[in-house]
């Protein structure tokens, strides 16, 4: 089972345009898709679609339409009551796959809500294979909260995966000596934020990205899955490093592709697959998601890991 935390859930609205986005112009959209979203929620959606039990933990009023939508979709949603309307995130999608995101901050959480979320995760971790902490933090949460959660969950049975960015990611990295997650999923820009590397180089050079990811493994993280957009992804563990090249994909929307990649890796792990197969499944899920509109999560029959090419990397000095 996979338990997910979406600390700052959102109503995701994707506006698809017929042409390029032009500032200051009046533009007619082709379609608008609205979905209950957030990184953890997306992973729970993918999990349920693949037949893997999942529980989605999140702060929300019990009667919020967000909660009802997830329950109607067959997702076991366990909201922790909070006050305030959930945020609305808007994605503007252009025909060439370019996406522009407008993310609102979300309601402020109290220390009591954070404590209740922590307790909810601890209560369910004993029956889970993985607990996934994903996305941005809401206003009111300290930037160190994910780092604190990793430490609080370490003795509760499940392995821990974290996918976040900006200040919460830096706080997590700064606190690895006190508690390292089993899996981290940065992208090239996020790798650069704490290694000091060039984001464009890390995004386009798998060997450079793998070496940067290796610094996290050296500090106690079991596995680092670094997604590199059109350049695929790299996986680094104590056993070695691998790079996967995605199949040719007509990109419709990249929103949710990273979440799908993370789920693909977890699915491969639950199937006891080797690291190269886990990476191939991660990239296959991410590529399938990129070819779908909005934050649509791919169904298993849309995922083609056999089309992903994986090679081993030598990240030793001079390798």
64 is catalytic: no
Instruction: Report residues of the chain scoring pLDDT below 50.
Output: none
CA distance 209 to 206: 5
User: Where do the domains of the chain lie, and which CATH numbers do they carry?
Assistant: 2-20+29-313 (3.40.1190.20)
Q: Which residue has the tokens 């060997």?
A: 207
CA distance 223 to 315: 15
CA distance 94 to 185: 26
pTM for the full predicted model: 0.91
Digit-coded pLDDT (tens) for 54-93? 999 999 988 889 999 999 989 999 999 998 889 999 989 8
pLDDT on residue 62: 82
pLDDT on residue 129: 97
Q: Which residue has the tokens 């995966």?
A: 161
pLDDT on residue 130: 98
pLDDT on residue 209: 96
Determine the 3-state secondary structure of 286 from DSSP. Answer: helix
pLDDT on residue 319: 64
DSSP letters spanning 6-71? ESS-EEEEEEEESS---TTS---EEEEEEEEE-HHHHHHHHHHHTT--EEEEEE--TT-HHHHHHH
pLDDT on residue 249: 86
- Select which of 12, 64, 163, 259 is catalytic: 259
């Amino acid at each position: 089972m996979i338990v997910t935390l979406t600390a700052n859930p959102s109503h995701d609205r994707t506006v698809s345009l017929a042409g390029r986005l032009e500032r200051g112009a009046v533009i007619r959209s082709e379609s608008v898709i609205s979905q209950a979203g957030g990184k953890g929620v997306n992973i729970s959606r993918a999990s349920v679609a693949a037949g893997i039990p999942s529980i989605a933990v999140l702060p929300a009023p019990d009667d919020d339409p967000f909660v009802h939508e997830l329950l109607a979709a067959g997702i076991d949603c366990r909201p922790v009551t909070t006050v305030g309307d959930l945020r609305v995130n808007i994605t503007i999608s252009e025909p060439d796959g370019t996406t522009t995101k407008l993310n609102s901050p979300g309601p402020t959480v109290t220390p009591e809500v954070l404590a209740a979320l922590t307790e909810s995760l601890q209560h369910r971790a004993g029956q889970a294979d993985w607990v996934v902490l994903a996305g941005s933090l809401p206003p009111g949460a300290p930037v160190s909260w994910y780092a604190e959660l990793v430490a609080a969950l370490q003795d509760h049975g499940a392995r821990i995966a974290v996918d976040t960015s900006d200040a919460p990611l830096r706080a997590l990295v700064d606190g690895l000596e006190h508690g390292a997650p089993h899996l981290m999923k940065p992208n090239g820009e996020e790798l650069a934020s704490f290694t000091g590397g060039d984001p464009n180089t890390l995004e386009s050079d798998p060997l450079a990205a793998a070496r940067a990811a290796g610094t996290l493994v050296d500090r106690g993280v079991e596995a680092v899955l670094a997604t590199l957009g059109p350049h695929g992804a790299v996986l680094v563990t104590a056993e070695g490093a691998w790079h996967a090249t995605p199949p040719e994909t007509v990109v419709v929307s990249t929103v949710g592709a990273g979440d799908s990649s993370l789920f693909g890796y977890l699915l491969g792990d639950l199937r006891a697959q080797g690291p190269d197969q886990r990476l191939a499944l991660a990239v296959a899920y991410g590529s399938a998601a990129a070819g779908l509109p909005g934050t649509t999560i791919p169904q298993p029959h849309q995922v083609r890991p056999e089309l992903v090419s994986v090679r081993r990397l030598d990240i030793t000095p001079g390798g």
